[in-house]
């Protein structure tokens, strides 16, 4: 019997079952509560998985966490309380959307910074280019072009 048990364990370890996340028997009977649980699950990481939410993962830990989330919801927790509970237990690693704090400032701040900085650089560049004086632009012309320009200007003022 013991041998059989060991063989079974070995098989279970060697043959990871295919991804099949939320199982029918885990789901809450109330559609409203279940919808909340699903929405929360999408923001929570399955910590032993590779970049998967507990809603997508078929791992046993993800199953345990899904059940835990549903237990807390049944117990009357708000969404925030559920998240706080999980962060207290597993750390911020469990959140797929890191909250804004001193060590994520650069993460959240970079996209708007790049956008603003880029916009400022472009505006400055446009202003600088428009400020190029006519004389300087003219000086960059070759002698032949200068004469031609002078002719054109004379023509247009003459007519």
When asked if residue 65 is in the footprint of other proteins (CB under 8 A), the reply is no
When asked if residue 97 is in the footprint of other proteins (CB under 8 A), the reply is yes
When asked if residue 129 is in the footprint of other proteins (CB under 8 A), the reply is yes
Q: Show contacts with other proteins in window 99-118 (CB under 8 A).
A: 103-104, 106-108, 110-111, 114-115, 118
Residue 44 sits at φ, ψ, to 5 deg, of -115, 140
**Residue from 1, 25, 32, 134 in contact with other proteins (CB under 8 A):** 25
Return residues touching other proteins (CB under 8 A): 11, 14-25, 27, 42-43, 45, 50-53, 56, 91-98, 103-104, 106-108, 110-111, 114-115, 118-119, 122, 126, 129-130, 132
């Amino acid at each position: 019997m013991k041998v059989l048990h060991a063989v079974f364990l070995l098989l279970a370890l060697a043959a990871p079952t295919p991804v099949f996340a939320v199982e029918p028997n885990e789901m809450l009977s109330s559609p409203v509560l279940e919808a909340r649980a699903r929405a929360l699950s999408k923001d929570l990481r399955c910590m032993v998985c590779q970049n998967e939410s507990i809603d997508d993962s078929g791992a046993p830990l993800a199953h345990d966490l899904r059940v835990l989330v549903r237990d807390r919801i049944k117990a009357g927790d708000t969404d925030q309380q559920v998240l706080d509970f999980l962060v207290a237990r597993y750390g911020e690693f469990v959140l797929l959307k890191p909250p804004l704090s001193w060590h994520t400032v650069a993460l959240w701040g970079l996209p708007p910074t790049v956008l603003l900085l880029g916009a400022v650089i472009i505006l400055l560049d446009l202003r600088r280019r428009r400020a190029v004086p006519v004389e300087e632009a003219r000086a960059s012309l070759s002698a032949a072009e200068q004469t031609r320009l002078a002719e054109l200007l004379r023509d247009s003022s003459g007519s």
